[in-house]
Amino acid sequence: MKIIDKIRKSRREGEVFYSFEYFPPRTQAGVENLYARMDRMGRLHPLFVDVTWGAGGSTAELTLDIVSHTQNLSGLETMMHLTCTNMPIQKLKDSLQQAYEDGIRNILALRGDPPRGQSSWETCENGLSYAIDLIKLIRETYGDKFGIGVAGYPGGHMENPSYEDDIRFLKEKVDAGADFILTQLFYDCDVFFKFVDDCRDIGITCPIIPGIMPIQSYKSFKKVTEFCRDVPQEITTTIEAIKNDDKAVKEYGFQLVLELCRDLIKGGVWGLHFYTMNLERTVTLLLKELDLIPEQISRTLPWRRSANEKRHSEDVRPIFWANRPRSYLARTMEWDEFPNGRWGDSRSPAFGELADQHWFRAVGQPKRYKKMWGESPESFQDVQSVFVNFCEGTINAIPWFDGPLASESTSINRNLIHLNQNGFLTINSQPRVNAALSSSPNVGWGPEGGFVYQKAYVEFFADEKRLRALLEVQKEFPNITFHAINRIEKSYSNCDTVNAVTWGVFPGKEILQPTVVDPESFVVWKDEAFELWMSSWASIYPKESRSYELLENLYNTLYLVNVVDNDFIQGDIWAFFNKVIAKYSSK
């Protein structure tokens, strides 16, 4: 979706939006961290995010990778920066084409800074000289397919002595096809409002969004002043006076930017654009203080949609990847169409291979993980206690979760702990829900005034003996359907059809059923679920160690089991499990 349309929609709804800018980190570990951070910040529902352009070379590739990831896997509408620096026209075209194919629909068109080590900007061979040329290139090649943002300079452009010329150039860029303006940073709101007035005077009518740079440290502030020429003297003086007290600088900077934001909102801005410097905390705190984060963020569906328009109509997914949504998105990226309304026939042959997933590999920080999962686990009990700890919240990761335990699980946490204490190692679950309001805090989703439903679901690893107990007890519970399968695909089940386990009924709408248990997809998922024992857990220990051997043994012998209680009105899946545990214990 074009950002300009989102801006207009947000304006109509009378809300002040916010957006987050990031830059490509230099290391792969940095990129992984950034993704995690963006995911967390994504939960604040920014209107969009944008990623700066690595000036030429391999960092450009990285920008393309990151925007594709956030647009497609994190579900955030992502704008890609594109600059003319060191970019022959063909390369610009290639980058645009790749971005387009990856689902990107918004470009921030810039001339760019001079490359590192060069003091002034030079047009490269077969390149473009001005942002306006880039805008024209985009409009000529893609028509209206991209939304285009441009940069505005409330304090004037550092390299351009004439403020009036700046605004005239800006008008030309807008006339050439830019949809909206993001401004460079400033710390004096009058500077911004004068800039807006001057833009309006010359006939620029599009939205002008102020760029906000939180002050995180003295060092970063010094850097800022290099390209922001009208930092009020008062601020500089104050910061210089406390420059050796990091905490004081941070606190002063926070209050300063908070007041700036408040003044901007009072002045009627449509939104705030944050230069996050890839940092999470300050921006989150600012938004909280500004009271801009909706108390309860309503969910369209129980899972977050991808921002790729190709997946716009997607509204059904198997429950198995609920805790690994990025893996699901990546493994289904090549699909031509996405299930809508009905999951329907198995699509398993079309799932991407595990081996093709670049993040499906050994984790990078064995130390961090050993702290959570044990320095050298030696028994099943050691492993079991990791699962118990995760449910209890004393550790915040196990290999089968992209993030922490979902908030809706808190209602069944004690039951999950009990299961894990008895050797049923849970990796996915949801409580039974019978006609909860769509606005309910934990389980609600979808349009207002509707009702949502869930069938109780538990997925876990268990050894053969525990599985046997389950198979016996299941005969007395006609409402229970289940699938069990081990690594070499020995399997048991009493249901070969697709089972909707989450659905909603809304005024004036068709029924939505966003999650299903699909036997065919379960077989695909189980490979991923089993592989995680080795790639994410065993791999942090030496290959010949007892810990490695223990985990490898579990990998080879456990069953992955999913259980659905189809009686969403009165069923008690925990009564079922208690019987299973009793049966197992009595043997």
294-302 long-range Cβ contacts below 8 angstroms, 24+ apart:
294/45, 296/439, 296/441, 297/43, 297/44, 297/45, 298/439, 298/444, 298/445, 298/448, 299/444, 299/445, 299/446, 300/445, 300/446, 301/445, 301/446, 301/512, 301/514, 302/445, 302/502, 302/514, 302/515
Asked whether the beta carbons of 249 and 243 are under 8 A apart, the reply is yes
Nearest residue (CB) to its own copies, 239 versus 564: 564
The span from the CA of 111 to the CA of 114, in Å, is 9
Contacting residues toward its own copies, per CB under 8 A: 340-344, 435, 449, 451, 453, 478-479, 481, 495, 497-500, 503, 505-511, 513, 516, 564, 566, 568-569
Query: What's the closest the beta carbon of residue 209 comes to its own copies, in angstroms?
Result: 32
Query: What's the closest the beta carbon of residue 1 comes to its own copies, in angstroms?
Result: 19
Query: What's the closest the beta carbon of residue 11 comes to its own copies, in angstroms?
Result: 23
Query: What's the closest the beta carbon of residue 584 comes to its own copies, in angstroms?
Result: 25
Nearest residue (CB) to its own copies, 374 versus 431: 431
Asked whether the beta carbons of 38 and 49 are under 8 A apart, the reply is yes
The span from the CA of 427 to the CA of 159, in Å, is 56
3-state secondary structure of 138: helix
Active site residue 21: yes
Query: What's the closest the beta carbon of residue 453 comes to its own copies, in angstroms?
Result: 7
Nearest residue (CB) to its own copies, 121 versus 492: 492
The span from the CA of 421 to the CA of 375, in Å, is 20
In which order are the strands placed within the sheet that holds 456-462? 425-430, 456-462, 559-565, 480-486, 491-493
With residue 396 as reference, give the H or E element that holds it. none
Nearest residue (CB) to its own copies, 69 versus 455: 455
Chain CA centroid to CA 187, Å? 30
Measuring CA to CA, which residue among 283, 246, 242 is closest to residue 261? 283
The span from the CA of 561 to the CA of 487, in Å, is 12
Backbone phi, psi, residue 273, to 5°:
-105, 120
Nearest residue (CB) to its own copies, 325 versus 504: 504
Query: What's the closest the beta carbon of residue 503 comes to its own copies, in angstroms?
Result: 5
DSSP string, 450-476: -EEEE-EEEEEEE-HHHHHHHHHHHTT
Nearest residue (CB) to its own copies, 342 versus 414: 342
CA-to-CA dists, residue 369 to 39, 86, 234, 372, 425, angstroms: 20, 42, 47, 5, 18
Out of 15, 21, 61, 259, which one is annotated catalytic?
21
With residue 155 as reference, give the H or E element that holds it. none
Residues comprising the chain, all counted: 587
Query: What's the closest the beta carbon of residue 499 comes to its own copies, in angstroms?
Result: 5
Nearest residue (CB) to its own copies, 451 versus 548: 451
Query: What's the closest the beta carbon of residue 322 comes to its own copies, in angstroms?
Result: 17
Nearest residue (CB) to its own copies, 208 versus 563: 563
Residue 165, token pair as written in the block? 């010329």
Active site residues: 21
